[in-house]
């Protein structure tokens, strides 16, 4: 099925490009422009981008088991210790941004 009318890209072509990108780096953040760049294309009207995002999510979820088998590398944020809760400063005042406190 044609997903991108402007570039005449099919579901299979987009899925294959996402799979190649994930094979290069399983924890890579992939957005539609990443996929199009890898295919030597670029978004024109970008009306297909919501469908491309859905395909990226679908392929990424499908490849999750193979990620674990590939060595189970932790996401960069985990490796950097960014996901662990930070302790409050000794003053007791939370100096993190409002957005960080909500997370
Ligand atoms: S439909 Fe894909 S860029 Fe226009």
Cα–ligand 1 centroid distance for 24 (angstroms)? 25
**Contact in structure between 52 and 3 (CB atoms under 8 Å):** yes
Q: Would you say the CB of residue 42 lies under 6 angstroms from ligand 1?
A: no
> Does 42 have pLDDT greater than 90?
yes
Q: Which residues of 45-55 are buried (b: 16+ CB within 10 A; e: fewer)?
A: eeebbeebeeb
| Structure confidence by residue, pLDDT tens digits, 17-34 | 999 999 999 888 999 999
Domain residue ranges of the chain, discontinuous segments joined by +: 2-74
Cα of 2 vs centre of ligand 1, distance in Å, is 10
Q: Is the pLDDT confidence value at 80 over 60?
A: no
> Residue 53 in contact with residue 36, Cβ under 8 Å?
no
- At residue 88, does pLDDT exceed 80? no
């Amino acid at each position: 099925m044609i997903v991108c009318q402007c570039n005449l890209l099919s579901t299979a072509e987009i899925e294959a490009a996402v799979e190649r990108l994930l094979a290069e780096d399983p924890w890579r953040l992939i957005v539609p422009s990443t996929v199009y760049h890898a295919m030597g294309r670029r978004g024109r009207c970008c009306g297909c981008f919501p469908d491309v995002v859905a395909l990226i999510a679908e392929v990424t979820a499908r490849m999750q088991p193979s990620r674990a088998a590939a060595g189970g590398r932790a996401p960069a944020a985990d490796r950097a210790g960014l996901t662990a809760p930070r302790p409050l400063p000794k003053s007791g005042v939370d100096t993190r941004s409002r957005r960080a406190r909500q997370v």
